[in-house]
Structure 1
Amino acid sequence: MPPELQAFISIGSNIAPTQNIICSLEMLQTMPQTRLKRRSSWYRTRPWGIENQAEFINLVVEVETALDPETLLEHTQTIEQRLNRHRTVRNGPRTIDLDLLLHGDRVLTLPHLTLPHPGLHQRDFMLIPLLEIAPEAHHPTLGPLQALRDAVSYRQIIERIPQPETDGLAEPA
């Protein structure tokens, strides 16, 4: 088995968000060669891209994985499909959105996957929850993520919200 790496996945939903996020967390725990290690608080956020839609709930999880980035992406997209994610409108309402933010210090540009996620240092709903669980996190090309916190372009976070009971899931940091 290849060595395990630290990876971070952003989770967001604005259609039955509590139910869909809990289901996605449960499904993430079933991925092969992957262990859910930590999860951030939950954040209520304004929609990004298309503003005329319901607010989102967002969080970030840390996983340890031996999966390569493309295989990890395939598994997250399978979870999205199982939770009825439809990609009809870019930035539109969604049951679940799982974005791979970082995969170790990997830098990758493919038609279907860019690492680090190009929005990571621009969107507070990705950066702030990640820093909550990994304040020492490092962007492979931009340096310490903590140093990028004040330069965020898109500030969508409204508030941190109470989390529902999630017995058996990785606890928040």
Structure 2
Amino acid sequence: MPTEQERVYLSVGANLHPRVATIRQAIAQLAAVPEVTVRATSNWYETEPWGKRDQPNFYNVSVALTTTLTPADLLTVLHQIERTFHRQRKVHWGPRTLDMDIIFWGARTIQTPTLTVPHPQAAHRNFVLRPTLEIAAADPQVGPQVRRMMAANQDQSWINKVGNVSELDD
């Protein structure tokens, strides 16, 4: 079981309509889980697709939380929320209604058949690192990890901070 000081960081994104409503509702569903406390969310970013570029742009946000769930149980919750929004895993790095990934779990390293933490691609993705640094900079367990990854990151994809989320078009 994690300690209360141990923060979990998620990356949440979508690039299929309605992106904004989906992300908002997904975070609300996550916050409604009794064993989860959402502590912070980053600014929203519009981002270029990563990996498979011939698809619509994404909106991405990072979420910090604490939980009494195990990593496997939190992953199950995230997958249940993704299914609520009809997430399909047909094309690797393809378009998605919702993507919720565990990026960091405090200072832990987790390696199971279904979960790797830190996320194995986090260090190569602007859309994960920039929003996560916003909410993890002061976290003594995760902030240094994110800063190291950002210093070595060579991702050239564009990422734009979105102003007023309530005015976003889908």
Instruction: State the superposition RMSD in angstroms.
Output: 1.9
Structure 1 counterpart of 2:22: 20
1:8 and 1:130 map into 2 onto residues whose CA distance is 7
Q: 2:73 aligns with which of 71, 74, 77?
A: 71
Identity percentage over the alignment? 33
**Residue 99 of structure 1: how far off its partner (Å):** 0.3
TM-score (norm 1): 0.87
1:145 aligns with 2:157: no
2:108 and 2:122 map into 1 onto residues whose CA distance is 14
2:107 and 2:148 map into 1 onto residues whose CA distance is 17
* CA separation of 1:2 and 1:120: change in aligned 2, threshold 3 A: closer
Structure 2 counterpart of 1:80: 82
Give the 3-state SS of the residue equivalent to 2:129 in structure 1: helix
The amino acid across from 1:74 in the alignment is T
Gaps of 5+ in 1: 166-173
Structure 1 counterpart of 2:110: 108
Gaps of 5+ in 2: none
2:2 and 2:50 map into 1 onto residues whose CA distance is 36
* CA separation of 1:82 and 1:149: change in aligned 2, threshold 3 A: same
The more displaced of 78-87 and 107-116 is 107-116
2:111 and 2:2 map into 1 onto residues whose CA distance is 22
**Residue 19 of structure 1: how far off its partner (Å):** 1.2
Structure 1 counterpart of 2:52: 50
**Residue 138 of structure 1: how far off its partner (Å):** 5.9
Q: How many pairs were matched up?
A: 163
2:45 and 2:92 map into 1 onto residues whose CA distance is 21
Give the 3-state SS of the residue equivalent to 1:121 in structure 2: helix
TM-score (norm 2): 0.88
* CA separation of 1:73 and 1:163: change in aligned 2, threshold 3 A: farther
Greater helix share, 1 or 2? 2
Give the 3-state SS of the residue equivalent to 1:54 in structure 2: coil
Contact kept in structure 2, 1:41 and 1:163, CA below 8 Å: no
The amino acid across from 2:157 in the alignment is Q
Greater strand share, 1 or 2? 1
Contact kept in structure 1, 2:123 and 2:149, CA below 8 Å: yes
1:157 and 1:135 map into 2 onto residues whose CA distance is 21
1:152 and 1:68 map into 2 onto residues whose CA distance is 30
Give runs of ≥4 in structure 1 deviating > 4 Å.
137-140
Q: 2:100 aligns with which of 92, 98, 123?
A: 98
